[in-house]
Structure 1
Amino acid sequence: MATEYAKDQPPGFTNRIERVAIVGASGSIGRYIATELVRTGKHTITGLTRFKGKKELPEGVIPSYIDYDDESTLVKALQGQQFLVITMSVMAPPDTQSKLIRAAAEAGVPYVMPNAYGSDFTNDALAKETGRGNVIRKTLQEIEATNVCSWIALVCGFWYEFSMARGAECFGFDMQRKHLTLIDNGDTKINVSTWDQCGRAVAALLNLKELPDSPGDTSPTVSTWKNRPLYIASFTISQKDMFESLKKVTGDKDEEWTIEHEKSHDRYVRGQERLQKENNKLGYVQMLYTRQFYPNGDGNFGEKHGLANDALGLPPEDLDECTKRAKEMVESGYAYH
């Protein structure tokens, strides 16, 4: 595909993203993306929300009420938008994203950031063995098939505080029981991100020029990641790194914790069995997370592809501060659906 330049665009073209629509702006990651975009003061942010939605949108986000069973409401909400960010709960009906993609194409939205947050879907083995990657690939093909929209997928690894607080199936930590299961030796490093960093990444991306000015312009632009993954991370860390941080935050000693070891493949298979025999959704969570900790480096996409942190000007973060937030989530009784 030939590179597009701002100098070749028709009169009236403004080389920036000004109008952004977000699905799930009141949700887990959507709220952080919306808040960071509003904070820049450079965009008009529209939050697509159901007529009977119960959650309040972040301040500065303009509501546009939709009905997923009436495509005309989706198209109307997306008219004039330049970028659509989709963030959805895992509980959303499977065809919801497809409805949004069709509406975005009809409304002429140039860019879609699909619900593809997490592991590296370009990794064939990882895509197959988690099941998640192939779902994402199908969505990206659907976007490209519109011949109207292009995609940019934010690959951010697991969300750190969320995963620490959610339970033992994720990073192996049960904070309330002070029980830790180390996968293999607990030394495998993976990429993880905070919700804050994800929000900053999207805001930084959309603050860039949309297109390079001319062939001599090598600065990063939104189009740099057109139909490509955008790899970012807060930390590249192991379970042992997480545990050291948690001990700093809590003041705990090793002897206060029960620490067990489980081979990565065995843990993955046990998750499969939980899912298949018990239809236990946590079995899938265990599979998904464990697979990233295989000692072959699949969970460290930054090592393989490089990260866009520097290109986007993302700040370094304090691991202990993030661990403290996870601890506070547990203490407040945080529970995912």
Structure 2
Amino acid sequence: MAQTYASNQQQGFENHIKNVAIVGAGGNVGKFVAEALLKTGKHNVTAITRGDGSIVLPTGVKVAKVNYEDQSSLVAALQGQEVLVITMSVMAPPEQQNKLIEAAASAGEFGGDTLNDEIGNDIFLGPAKKKYRDYIEQLGKSSWIGIACGFWYEFSLGGGPERYGFDFKNRTITLMDNGTTKINTSTWPQICRAVASLLSLNILPESEEDTSPCLANFKNRSVYISSFTIGQKDMLDSVLRVTGTGLADWKVTHATAKERFQSGLEEFRKGNMAGFESDGNFGATRGLHNDILGLPEEDLDEFTKVGIHMSEENQTY
């Protein structure tokens, strides 16, 4: 298909996104995404919420209440919206996303590299997300953009030994294999900056000479971002610096990645989200879009402190 340009569009065409709707704007990530979008000063942000919902939303976010059993209420809520960002839980009823997709102009998704079929199947999200992506393309009225960010660093670090292996209360760490295998992991602020930066890009290149990134570059594709590409030993080194402890103060045990994966798989099949496993170093195979989106380098120790605090305050569930 031939490339289209903003200069070729009909009079009145605006080459940027103004109206953004968010599902899950009161959740762990959604509220920060909403705040990041508002901070740009470029977007009107609307939270799509259930009529019976009672959530606290960031100041400046509009509210559109919907009934998922009444498709007309979804269509009405999305009238005039240019992008729909979906940050609902992976445990939400799957039919809700289908209903949203049918009513939406665009859809976004968050998580690991579920374009990698093998990884996607392993962590269970792949088939579901592919189904939604395929459905959007099948309808032919909109497109999707995925955000592949790995697991949340501070949330996973502080979430107990089932996640990144750390038990801060008992000062234990379980290293998978030798603890040096690198994975991509992202902080909540970085993920939200990425969404805000992405949706602040021009929709189309202005002309044939315009080679700057635009949303059209990512149509029906994933954007790959990461805060840190690190292994468990890197995390442990950071924990030691932050806590002022030495390796002798910690009990270190070892497990193979295969053993950890199998045990996690069993727990996940039982419905225990603690068994949810990480999905690797996609940055090494696909590259990252951090530079294109102008994302800053972050301080690992700063977010290690956040993760430890979340663990102490039991804020990771």
TM-score, scaled relative to structure 1: 0.91
Q: CA deviation at 1:280?
A: 4.8
Say yes or no: does 1:148 pair with 2:141. Answer: yes
Structure with greater helix percent: 1
Say yes or no: does 1:85 pair with 2:85. Answer: yes
Deviations 1:265-295 (A, max 9, x none): 122122233445xx2514632xx23xx3xxx
- Supply the distance in 2 between the matched residues of 1:37 and 1:209 (Cα, whole angstroms): 15
Match of 1:271 in 2: 264
2:297 to 292, 316, 321: 316
Match of 2:53 in 1: 53
2:164 to 167, 171, 180: 171
Deviates more, 1:13-22 or 1:300-309: 300-309
- Supply the distance in 2 between the matched residues of 1:33 and 1:205 (Cα, whole angstroms): 12
Contact 1:272 1:283 in 2 (8 A): no
- Supply the distance in 1 between the matched residues of 2:56 and 2:271 (Cα, whole angstroms): 31
- Supply the distance in 2 between the matched residues of 1:65 and 1:273 (Cα, whole angstroms): 38
2:222 to 217, 226, 229: 229
- Supply the distance in 2 between the matched residues of 1:55 and 1:6 (Cα, whole angstroms): 39
2:283 to 302, 309, 314: 302
Contact 2:160 2:311 in 1 (8 A): no
Percent identity of equivalent pairs: 48
Match of 1:95 in 2: 95
Contact 1:181 1:262 in 2 (8 A): yes
Q: 1:81 to 1:240 in 2, by over 3 A?
A: same
Deviates more, 1:79-88 or 1:46-55: 46-55
Say yes or no: does 1:219 pair with 2:200. Answer: no
Contact 1:273 1:283 in 2 (8 A): no
Q: Which runs of 5+ in 2 are unaligned?
A: none
- Supply the distance in 2 between the matched residues of 1:122 and 1:272 (Cα, whole angstroms): 20
Q: CA deviation at 1:177?
A: 1.5
Q: CA deviation at 1:307?
A: 0.8
Match of 2:31 in 1: 31
Q: CA deviation at 1:126?
A: 1.1
- Supply the distance in 1 between the matched residues of 2:126 and 2:139 (Cα, whole angstroms): 21
The Cα RMSD (Å) is 1.3
Q: Which amino acid aligns with 1:332?
A: E
Q: 1:283 to 1:47 in 2, by over 3 A?
A: closer
Q: CA deviation at 1:335?
A: 4.1
What is the SS of the residue equivalent to 1:98?
Answer: helix
Q: 1:275 to 1:155 in 2, by over 3 A?
A: closer
Q: CA deviation at 1:178?
A: 1.1
- Supply the distance in 1 between the matched residues of 2:267 and 2:143 (Cα, whole angstroms): 38
Match of 2:107 in 1: 112
Q: 1:185 to 1:51 in 2, by over 3 A?
A: same
Question: How many corresponding residue pairs?
Answer: 317
Deviations 1:45-66 (A, max 9, x none): 1111112212211111101111
TM-score, scaled relative to structure 2: 0.96
| Structure 1 runs of 4+ with >6 Å offset | none
- Supply the distance in 2 between the matched residues of 1:280 and 1:134 (Cα, whole angstroms): 17
Q: 1:335 to 1:283 in 2, by over 3 A?
A: closer
Q: 1:328 to 1:45 in 2, by over 3 A?
A: same
Match of 2:155 in 1: 162
What is the SS of the residue equivalent to 1:308?
Answer: coil
Deviations 1:204-230 (A, max 9, x none): 111111100122211000111111100
Q: 1:48 to 1:274 in 2, by over 3 A?
A: closer
- Supply the distance in 2 between the matched residues of 1:121 and 1:195 (Cα, whole angstroms): 19
Q: Which amino acid aligns with 1:92?
A: A
- Supply the distance in 1 between the matched residues of 2:225 and 2:2 (Cα, whole angstroms): 26
Deviates more, 1:117-126 or 1:214-223: 117-126
- Supply the distance in 2 between the matched residues of 1:235 and 1:249 (Cα, whole angstroms): 17
What is the SS of the residue equivalent to 1:153?
Answer: strand
- Supply the distance in 1 between the matched residues of 2:216 and 2:52 (Cα, whole angstroms): 36
Q: CA deviation at 1:3?
A: 2.1
Contact 2:163 2:274 in 1 (8 A): no
Contact 2:68 2:96 in 1 (8 A): yes
Contact 1:169 1:282 in 2 (8 A): no
Match of 1:130 in 2: 123
What is the SS of the residue equivalent to 1:169?
Answer: coil
Match of 1:295 in 2: none
Match of 1:13 in 2: 13
Match of 2:72 in 1: 72
